[in-house]
Structure 1
Amino acid sequence: MRHTRPTIGGVTLYRHLLTSLMLLFLLAGCGEETTQDPTDSTVKTNTEDIQEEETHEQGVPEMEPSETDNEAKNESDENTKSNGKALSDLKVHFIDAGQADATLFQFQDGEEKYTILYDTGDWRGNDVVHYLSSQGVAEIDVLAISHPDADHIGQMEEIVGTYDVGEVWMTGNESTSDTFQGAMEAVLASDAGYEEPRAGDEYAVGPMEIDVLYPASITGNSNEESLSLKFTYGDMEFLFTGDAEKDGEQYMMNSGTSVEADILQLGHHGSDTSSDPSFIDAVDPEVAVYSAGEGNSYGHPSPEVVSLIQDRNSDLYGTDIHGTIVITTDGQEYRIATREDGTISPESTDDAEPSSSEDTEKAKDVAESGNGQDATDGCVNINEASKEAVQEIIHIGPERADELIELRPYQSVDGLDKINGIGPARVDDIKEEGKACA
């Protein structure tokens, strides 16, 4: 069913009857209010370089040193038509945001310009904010958040506070983290509409069609229930699944809506918790892209997934190897520009992969907590360490480890007093032990 409510700012949207009171209810469920996240960038950025090198005829950043041309499956001499007019170029920027996700869509219809942002990078940086500025973003029609993990919702608060946002799309799953609370407060303080799309919903943003593939409902499993969207522009199709795992992929395949797409963003940073072989076969992408941090401690992308994509003769790009990746299309043909040249090769499984149980646990920790090293300068970093690692801290067992991860980020070790059963005396014990740091 296509929603056909009145057009606002050129965006045809169906608004759920979700009011500011409901946003307040969400915030009330997040636990007690705590301090804001730091804004100093610790994630590698190349925003200024990209801005300076934006010299190509079609507006694609000239990303040293390679640019490749590709043709879409349906070759034709005529551009796809939209309302009797040729489509203008769509630019899809897979932003290099370290071990985080953020993708920017820019296109126009006549004089009307459109901007869609899917995820907002990591809470520890401001690289996504800077990149939006470098690309001349003035307002955002749709800000879609796959799920409330800190590496997907990280810079949402600043973005909503900086830009006029027409609609915010989220699943409705919550988090008790400061990052989530700050983001929701920013939405409440803005004039943005709020939407909780569900599988089967359809939207049109100018000439862009958007099909919601997942989830149909939510249970609180925010990682698995990532907002999964298929973007169709002319004959070109782009599929994004956030951190949805193999069960979610199976649901999408069985939903009755085609998951076939020309361009696929690999789920969960290329982890093998996603990208089931049957799902990759159903999508049948010409190009697969993953977002991961260079030298990340989680083994992303999984060598198994890299081999899977390469065995199917799909082109593979990753932000850890290629930097920011920009795909430009007129709705039929596309071309790809990358910041860096490089080849993605699977490493030896024996050398590169931990045991399957360890790999699964690491992937789960990434989904729940944002990403990073287990330790910094010999200490256990409570903002980045895995569930297993934080249990090395005195008074932190499995249940408290889960809560510690859920409550991230922390300004200091003193913030651990938010965990049930950890009071001032136990915080003093933790500080005296000297293992924990933030």
Structure 2
Amino acid sequence: MKLIFSIILSVLLVACGQGVEQEAVSENPLDEAKPQSEETENSEEKETAEEASNTEATSATAEIPAASQTSEETSSNANLNELKVHYIDAGQANATLFQYSDQQDSYTILYDTGDWNRNEVVNYLANQNISTIDLIIVSHPDADHIGQLAEIVRTYDTGEVWLSGNESSSETFQNAIEAVIASDADYHEPRTGESFDIGPLKLDVLYPTSISGKTNEESISILFTYGNTKFLFTGDAGKSEELEMIGTRIDIEADILQLGHHGSNTSTDKAFLQAVSPSIAIYSAGLDNSYGHPSQEVVSTVLNEGIELYGTDVNGTIIVTTDGEDYSIATNKDGTISPSSTGSANTFNEDNNLNEENEETTTGVASCININRASIDEVQAIIHIGPERAQDLFDMRPYDSVDGLSRIKGIGPARITDIKNEGIACVGG
């Protein structure tokens, strides 16, 4: 699988490179954002300016980090237009939309794309009158983060897609990869220490340094800087990875932190939280989800640090607006998060072109065990599903039907029949 995927991506990169060469000048916003100071430095390293230009034109895709690495100088905040960061209510999934402009140029960035069996993110993008997306970052290949990527890249002209390089056997992941390959989007696998300017927004890659197949732990983690306002995203990275981020030379302090892994206690180490020192923490989780997200331990840790806490399960879609200096927060719903109150933020409604999402959930209930949503412990109540197969079941999500369990080693037609006859396994709940 990995060999086939690598070959496919190699073909994609070659194709993208040829497209750049034919056009002579890349339309990739990351390439356009390259600072003048670096262009001069790179030119001096080549024998002639003409050679440097030709090299850049034929290898823009393969050398994205060098071609778009940021300068050390920060533009004046006085010239910054408004940036809106939409933490979309995507149920038990994740998706965040960045929208901003610089003079005549508008920019759109999407970090994660929601769940495979829902459509909140696709609908939300449509409500924002988006025509193009400059960059889509998928933190890792789990179906609740890469879920709607295929439909999004088929709908919108996309400049570039970033993936960690880790793979999944799920149909959702395979469909997403096929859609990216079929699109005109460039492709990149970012690594720790890379830095990019996309217009006035700076992106510093904090993680991963390399990959080893640990999909959650090796989530793409990014520090977004807009003037003096900073946003940090870590996907589903765990506590040990958070501590590794502290160990880099990159300043990880941020104003607004999205809590890792939907607020699970596998993330948000106290030392990491103190190093980031956010004023605001936001998590994305589904209402009454079967995972118990957010963890009450994490909620208590955040609130005890004096950090304001918001969650999509309580507040719906959350929008942060900033001019690079000050920021404000508006929520789709007013509510507080236990064990103590965070106060209330401004609320918005459909008049602001922001829809209150349907809070329907597909978690396991008494009538069935949803094999796409239930925990590892819960699925072991299904006949023939022990601890090892439960982990395989979890890793191979999502499933279109109970018959999909036949992909698990040791689950053949006879056992599928047993599972169906038992009547407690389902995909809809």
TM-score tier by shorter-chain length is 0.7 to 0.9
For 1:152, what is the secondary structure of its paired residue?
Answer: helix
| Equivalent residues of 1:81, 1:87 under 8 A apart | no
2:168 matches 1:175: yes
- Alpha-carbon distance between aligned partners in 2 of 1:81 and 1:329, rounded to the nearest angstrom: 16
Q: Once the two structures are superposed, what CA deviation does each residue of 1:399-426 show, in whole Å capped at 9, x if it has no partner?
A: 2222222222222111222222222122
Do residues 254 (structure 1) and 300 (structure 2) align? no
Other-structure match for 2:46: none
CA contact (8 A) 1:383 1:409 kept: yes
The aligned length equals 349
CA, structure 1 residues 372+260, in 2 after alignment: closer, same or farther (shift >3 Å)?
A: farther
1:84: how far off?
A: 9.0
Distance 1:415 1:84, change over 3 A: closer
- The TM-score, its normalising length taken from structure 1, stands at 0.76
Whether the 8 Å contact between 2:319 and 2:330 is mirrored in structure 1 is yes
Taking the TM superposition and a 5 Å limit, the aligned residue runs for 1:3-402 are 8-12=27-31, 15-16=61-62, 82=75, 86-346=79-339, 373=363, 375-402=364-391
Query: Take 1:244 and 1:84, find their aligned partners in 2: how far apart are those partners?
Result: 31
Greater Cα shift, 407-416 or 194-203:
407-416
> Whole-Å Cα distance in 2 between the matches of residues 8 and 166 of structure 1?
8
- 420, 424, 428: which is aligned to 1:435? 424
Q: Which residue of 1 aligns with 2:354?
A: none
Matched residue type, 1:171: S
Instruction: Give the residue type in structure 1 aligned to 2:382.
Output: I
Q: CA deviation at 1:235?
A: 0.7
The whole-number CA distance in structure 1 between the counterparts of 2:74 and 2:171 is 45
- AA of the residue aligned to 1:409: P
Q: Read off the aligned partner of 2:385 and give its amino acid letter.
A: I
State the Cα deviation string for residues 111-158 of structure 1 (Å, max 9, x = none): 110000000111111110010111111111010001111111111111
Q: Work out the CA distance in 2 between the residues paired with 1:84 and 1:244.
A: 31
Q: Show structure 1 runs of 5+ residues with no match.
A: 1-5, 19-79, 348-370
What whole-Å deviation, never above 9, does each CA across 1:323-368 have from its counterpart, x for those lacking one?
1111111111111111111121228xxxxxxxxxxxxxxxxxxxxx
Amino acid at match of 1:430: I
Aligned counterparts of 1:336 and 1:215: Cα–Cα separation in 2: 30
Amino acid at match of 2:225: T
Hey, what does 2:396 align to over in structure 1? Answer: 407
Q: Alpha carbons of 1:322 and 1:84: their partners in 2 closer, same or farther (altered >3 Å)?
A: closer
**Residues 84 and 387 from structure 1, CA distance in 2 versus in 1: closer, same or farther, beyond 3 angstroms?**
closer
The one-character-per-residue Cα deviations of 1:162-218 (angstroms, maximum 9, x if unpaired) are 111111001000000111011111101111111000000111111111000001000
Contact 2:76–2:227 at 8 Å: present in 1 too?
Answer: no
Cα 1:114–1:222 change in 2 (3 A) is same
Query: For 1:376, what is the secondary structure of its paired residue?
Result: coil
Alignment partner, residue 19 of structure 2: none
What is residue 365 of structure 1 aligned with on the other side?
none
Give the conservation status (yes or no) of the 8 Å contact 2:291–2:375: no
Indicate the structure with greater helix content. Answer: 2
Match of 1:27 in 2: none
- Identity across matched positions, percent: 58
Task: Report the CA distance between 1:372 and its aligned residue.
Answer: 5.6
Tell me, what secondary structure is at the counterpart of 1:117? strand
Query: Contact between 2:29 and 2:159, CA under 8 Å: does it hold in 1?
Result: no
Unaligned runs of at least 5 residues, structure 2 = 1-24, 35-59, 65-72, 341-360
Structure 1 CA distance for aligned equivalents of residues 415 and 299 of structure 2: 45
Q: Which amino acid aligns with 1:386?
A: S
Give the deviation of 1:377 after TM superposition: 4.5
- The superposition leaves residues 21-41 of structure 1 with CA deviations (integer Å, 9 ceiling, x where unpaired) of xxxxxxxxxxxxxxxxxxxxx
